């Protein structure tokens, strides 16, 4: 865990700057762990909670933006990290809508359960941003944290997915970017430009685009859903930024006391933010059996995704 | 287009070596195009063939292993490459099961059409391997080619998905790998080791694992399907390698004249191999209306995926 106090000392920032401007007090940073190891640990922990073993899974979906290796995909590596993984041949698939990857994976898994392709599906979201953030960019360096989460889904009698929607607004396509690492700036060809491999974000532009679209997105979402916004028990947003969370609380009559906000404790954990907020809230007893949860987030690309579901364990 | 003759000259290989051992005569290499540009061109071409414009799409799925940038996802960049993209807010999602990403994307798109989430979905598969292949590794350098494809799917009256299956065999998880570029060997930390950013494949081990599982995979696939293997009109395999294609032709009574084999013309185009073989066969008039096609491939991770569908344009 890295406190904002220690970050402020190392970056020569005034005491209290991070809390005031970024809204983050503590974040976790992977020192030696890989995305794969963190993801496997999170999955083992979820299996323990469910009283299952890896052999009970029918499918593993990794929904995330960051990764250990370019090839193979994240989910195959997480599976292979389990002892005896070669005895189980369940399929491994990656889904990526950047910060909202968990929402997309949850919709995909719900579809697969709905049509009966599988009975038990795990979604692993493991994100390490700390290796790709430039200390010179204080806004992002103080905002992000590393995190892995896992959830296990089964076909239940009640509950489950109520509604899902994603929209991609291309005017913001390049306002959140890691330019290097792929074919446009291949590491073989650009060895001496570390800034190419760092995360870049035009926070102001992104907030402006989100502000233009978010209220309408939520309006249309609930017009198309069988549940009204005021009947939602919990709103679980992507912990994108202090200003982003503040903007959401003012929209469409959203009540602030229903919004899960843990930005101060964990920072922005990319796609792991939403499942972390959800899991923490369940563990704390805030989100209860039969509660209706609205997951909502913005993502690089630029997309807004929303998913409404009823939480049940039976 | 790069001929094997010219490759053999530049690599100081005996004339005819590439055809004899790799089975590839020509492959295409992106000189200045990006994954995004190639993907957008392929999508424009598919839209033209369908008499559609970008505004007719309800969803864009990118199914591929390679990419231009680490963030955002591939599909968002392909959409944004279209003039006026900001006027359309259809969602962009990436799916990655490496070489079988098109199969997984096709199954996902079929599900989304089946439940009525969308009416018109495009799948873009754009792969550039040439930037990440080491000339010192002749086996892979002579095998791979660059390619982008796009298909457009709509809910039809007849036809569509018959059966899909994927299995992941973890004993081969690390036999196909690009180690660097992600968090394990981050380009910021390993600037001076270009071999880290190159594709590595243990072809012999992969063939052995495929040989252990492929016949049984196909057996179980058709036991679970309403159509028998002998009633399939076309088998469209991933163009993984000369030996891989030869192995497939000997299995389960598969008739060689039903197997689409274009390895010699295009090389292994990662996830674009299967859709390229399918599209080419449709354009050549081999695959006809109401034909049943069995897509089958192996992928890094290591996975085998199969998908059976009836091709219709109405």
Q: Supply the DSSP string of A73-89, one letter for each residue.
A: -HHHHHHHTSTTGGG--
| Contact between residue B200 and residue B129 where contact means Cβ atoms under 8 Å apart | no
Residue B314 pLDDT more than 90? Answer: no
The dihedrals phi and psi of B85, each to the nearest 5 degrees, come to -60, -30
Q: Which residue of B has its CA nearest to A66?
A: B182
Question: How far apart, in whole angstroms, are the C-alpha atoms of residue A224 and residue A245?
Answer: 24
- As a whole number, mean pLDDT of residues B27-43 equals 96
Paired strand residues for A240? none
Question: How far apart, in whole angstroms, are the C-alpha atoms of residue A116 and residue A118?
Answer: 5
Question: DSSP label at B19?
Answer: I
Contact B194 A174 (CB under 8 A): no
Interchain CB contacts (distance < 8 Å): A and B: 260
- The tens digit of pLDDT for each residue in A81-138 reads 999 999 999 999 999 999 999 999 999 999 999 999 999 999 999 999 999 998 889 9
Residues 6 or more apart whose Cβ sits within 8 Å of residue B12: none
Question: What pLDDT was estimated at residue A157?
Answer: 77
Question: What pLDDT was estimated at residue A159?
Answer: 74
> Measured between CB atoms, which of B85, B183, B300 is closest to A34?
B183
Contact B191 A188 (CB under 8 A): no
Q: How confident is the model at residue A314 (pLDDT cuts 50, 70, 90)?
A: confident
Strands annotated E in A218-288:
234-237
Q: Which residues of A touch B170 (CB under 8 A)?
A: 76, 79-80, 82, 85-86, 88
Question: How far apart, in whole angstroms, are the C-alpha atoms of residue A301 and residue A159?
Answer: 31
> Measured between CB atoms, which of B80, B104, B111 is closest to A173?
B80
Average pLDDT, chain A: 95
> Measured between CB atoms, which of A34, A173, A213 is closest to B76?
A173
Q: How far from chain centre, in Å, is Cα B7?
A: 23
| Contact between residue A313 and residue A166 where contact means Cβ atoms under 8 Å apart | no
User: What was the ipTM of the complex prediction?
Assistant: 0.97
Contact A176 B71 (CB under 8 A): yes
Question: How far apart, in whole angstroms, are the C-alpha atoms of residue B144 and residue B270?
Answer: 8
Fold matches, A2-157 and A161-260+268-310: yes
Q: Which residues of B touch A43 (CB under 8 A)?
A: none
Q: Which of B100, B197, B105, B114 is nearest to B156 (CA)?
A: B114
Does the domain spanning A2-157 belong to CATH 3.40.47.10?
Answer: yes
- The tens digit of pLDDT for each residue in B234-278 reads 999 999 999 999 999 989 889 999 999 999 999 999 999 999 999
Q: Which residue of B has its CA nearest to A167?
A: B91
- As a whole number, mean pLDDT of residues A10-23 equals 94
- A24-42: buried (b, 16+ CB within 10 Å) or exposed (e) per residue? bebbbbbeebbbbbbbbbb
| Contact between residue B95 and residue B102 where contact means Cβ atoms under 8 Å apart | no
Contact A169 B111 (CB under 8 A): no
- The tens digit of pLDDT for each residue in B87-131 reads 999 999 999 999 999 999 999 999 999 999 999 999 999 999 999
Contact B167 A128 (CB under 8 A): no
For helices B101-114 and A101-114, the axis angle rounded to 10 degrees is 70
Contact A92 B183 (CB under 8 A): no
Q: If one looks up domain B161-310 in CATH, what number appears? A: 3.40.47.10
Of B97-106, B145-154, B155-164, B259-268, minimum mean pLDDT range: B155-164
Q: Which residues of B touch A299 (CB under 8 A)?
A: 72
- As a whole number, mean pLDDT of residues A22-51 equals 96
Report residue A199 as tokens. Answer: 């995360």
Question: What pLDDT was estimated at residue B173?
Answer: 95
- The tens digit of pLDDT for each residue in B183-201 reads 999 998 888 788 899 999 9
Query: Chain A closest CA to B285's CA: distance in Å?
Result: 33
Query: Chain A closest CA to B124's CA: distance in Å?
Result: 14
The domains of chain B are located at 2-155, 161-310
CA terminus-to-terminus distance, chain A? 35
Residue A308 pLDDT more than 90? Answer: yes
Overall size of chain B counted in residues: 314
User: What is the SS3 assignment for A162?
Assistant: strand
- As a whole number, mean pLDDT of residues A299-309 equals 97
Residue B310 pLDDT more than 90? Answer: yes
Query: Chain A closest CA to B74's CA: distance in Å?
Result: 9
Contact B187 A178 (CB under 8 A): no
Contact B170 A194 (CB under 8 A): no
Question: How far apart, in whole angstroms, are the C-alpha atoms of residue A225 and residue B283?
Answer: 42
Residue A192 pLDDT more than 90? Answer: no
Question: What pLDDT was estimated at residue B156?
Answer: 81
The percentage of chain B sitting over the pLDDT mark of 70, rounded to a whole number, equals: 100
- The tens digit of pLDDT for each residue in B51-89 reads 999 999 999 999 999 999 999 999 999 999 999 999 999
Does the domain spanning B2-155 belong to CATH 2.60.40.10?
Answer: no
Question: How far apart, in whole angstroms, are the C-alpha atoms of residue B95 and residue A110?
Answer: 16
Contact B301 A179 (CB under 8 A): no
Contact A86 B170 (CB under 8 A): yes
- The tens digit of pLDDT for each residue in A57-75 reads 999 999 999 999 999 999 9
Q: Which of A123, A222, A216 is nearest to A163 (CA)?
A: A222
Strand A176-181, strand A160-168: pairing = unpaired
Q: Domain A161-260+268-310's class?
A: alpha beta
Contact A176 B94 (CB under 8 A): no
Residue A154 pLDDT more than 80? Answer: yes
Of A238-247, A286-295, B132-141, minimum mean pLDDT range: B132-141
Question: How far apart, in whole angstroms, are the C-alpha atoms of residue A138 and residue A263?
Answer: 16
> Measured between CB atoms, which of A96, A167, A179 is closest to B89?
A167
Q: Which residues of A touch B73 (CB under 8 A)?
A: 65, 96-98, 300-301
Residue B159 pLDDT more than 80? Answer: no
Q: Which residues of A touch B164 (CB under 8 A)?
A: 117
Query: Chain B closest CA to A104's CA: distance in Å?
Result: 8
- The tens digit of pLDDT for each residue in B209-231 reads 999 999 999 999 999 999 999 99
> Measured between CB atoms, which of A90, A183, A213 is closest to B168?
A90
Contact B96 A91 (CB under 8 A): no
Average pLDDT, chain B: 95
> Measured between CB atoms, which of A173, A183, A197 is closest to B72?
A173
Q: Which residue of B has its CA nearest to A118?
A: B165
> Measured between CB atoms, which of B34, B86, B168 is closest to A183?
B34
Question: What pLDDT was estimated at residue A178?
Answer: 93
Contact A97 B98 (CB under 8 A): no
Contact B93 A94 (CB under 8 A): no
Query: Chain B closest CA to A242's CA: distance in Å?
Result: 22
């Amino acid at each position: 865990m890295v406190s904002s106090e220690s970050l402020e000392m190392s970056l020569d920032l005034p005491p209290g700057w991070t809390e005031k401007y970024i809204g983050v007090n503590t974040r976790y940073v992977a020192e030696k762990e890989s995305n794969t190891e963190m993801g496997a640990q999170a999955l083992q922990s979820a299996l323990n909670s469910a009283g299952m073993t890896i052999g009970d899974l029918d499918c593993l979906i990794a929904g995330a933006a960051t990764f250990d290796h370019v090839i193979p995909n994240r989910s195959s590596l997480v599976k292979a990290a389990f002892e005896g993984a070669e005895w189980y041949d369940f399929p491994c698939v990656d889904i990526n809508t950047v910060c909202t990857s968990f929402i997309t994976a949850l919709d995909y898994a719900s579809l697969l359960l709905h049509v009966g392709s599988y009975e038990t599906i795990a979604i692993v979201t493991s994100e390490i941003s700390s290796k790709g953030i430039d200390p010179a960019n204080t806004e992002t360096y103080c905002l992000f944290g590393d995190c892995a989460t896992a959830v296990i889904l089964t076909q239940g009698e009640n509950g489950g997915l109520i509604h899902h929607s994603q929209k991609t607004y291309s005017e913001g396509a390049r306002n959140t970017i890691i330019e290097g690492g792929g074919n446009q700036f291949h590491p073989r060809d650009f060895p001496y430009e570390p800034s190419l491999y760092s995360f870049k974000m035009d926070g102001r532009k992104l907030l402006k685009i989100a502000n233009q679209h978010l209220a309408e997105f939520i309006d249309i979402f609930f017009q198309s859903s069988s549940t009204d916004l005021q009947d939602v028990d919990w709103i679980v947003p992507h912990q994108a930024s202090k200003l982003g969370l503040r903007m959401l609380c003012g929209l469409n009559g959203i009540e602030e006391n229903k919004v899960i906000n843990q930005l101060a404790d964990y920072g922005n954990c990319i796609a792991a933010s939403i499942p972390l907020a959800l899991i923490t809230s369940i563990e704390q007893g805030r989100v209860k059996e039969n509660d209706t949860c609205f997951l909502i987030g913005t993502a690089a690309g630029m997309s807004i995704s929303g998913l409404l579901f009823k939480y049940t364990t039976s």
